[in-house]
Amino acid sequence: MTNPIGAAQAVVDAGKKGEIQIVGMDHDLRTLEYVEDGTILAAQVQNNYDMGFYLVTTSVKAADGATVGNGIDEERFNVGSTSVFQDEARKYIDLLYGAE
């Protein structure tokens, strides 16, 4: 995962907002706020529900003694992601962190 927060803060601190395009992969609130205000062009946001679902179900199987495998079955564990741009940032902030 790349966290674009540091890059965004550096761009803001240098007074270069709008001159340098930043993209990254993160669903952190600060990242989405930077997308919303235009500092970050886009963020790739993972499907958190499926990530949590697969984590818990696989952990329960392992705790129950089942063999869960040594590798990752990408067909099964690819939870996908969504590109979030400025026009949708508020929707994702509200979805992930609660409406203001």
Digitized pLDDT (tens) for each residue of the chain, 100 residues in all: 467 999 999 999 999 999 999 999 888 999 999 999 999 999 999 877 777 887 888 888 888 888 876 555 666 667 778 899 999 999 999 988 987 6
Which pLDDT does position 31 carry in this prediction? Answer: 94
CA torsion 68-71-76-79 (nearest 10°) is: 110
Which pLDDT does position 53 carry in this prediction? Answer: 81
Q: Interhelix angle for 29-36 vs 5-13, to 10°?
A: 50
Which pLDDT does position 1 carry in this prediction? Answer: 42
**All structural domains of the chain:** 5-97 (3.40.50.2300)
Alpha-carbon span 76 to 23, nearest angstrom: 27
